[in-house]
Structure 1
Amino acid sequence: MTTTGEKQASMIPATLGVPLNEKGEYETDEHGQTNVKGLFVIGDAKNTFTSLIGAASQGYEAGVIINNEFAEEEWD
């Protein structure tokens, strides 16, 4: 595996119990949801190199999921 020596800037998700994979990225589902309910990780914390546009896209996607969860709570 090739690496530039990058590492996570924040270990807060790790202290909350979110595991890191072999690349040093936080493990999430396809929408950025971690194993901690309500905690989403996006951008370079989720993927080693995402770029600004990629991180913005992931943030939008996570926002859609969060908004959907709020809407479902309101309707229940």
Structure 2
Amino acid sequence: MRQMEFKMERPGLVEPGQIVDVTEGVVAAYFYYTIEPAVAMSANYRSWQRLKSGQGKVIDVKQTPQGYYVVCEFDEEDVE
């Protein structure tokens, strides 16, 4: 299973156990992912790190001094 982290600006938008839709965006040579409808956004990834799944499961929502982070799990192999 592959896990990815998404930055969320405020709490309560998603909960652990929830199935979420993810869309892909492109900036220059990098790909990024958004939990729809514009709930949280991932970091940038290279082409060989692209996500193949369009849906994932929220496994954790963390609160840090930098904000909220959503950890999602996808049904595909992890990439480093």
Task: Give the alignment's TM-score, normalised by structure 2.
Answer: 0.25
**Could you say which structure has the greater relative contact order, defined with CA pairs below 8 angstroms and 6 or more residues apart?**
2
Max radius of gyration: which structure?
1
> Which protein has the bigger strand share?
2
> Which protein has the bigger helix share?
1
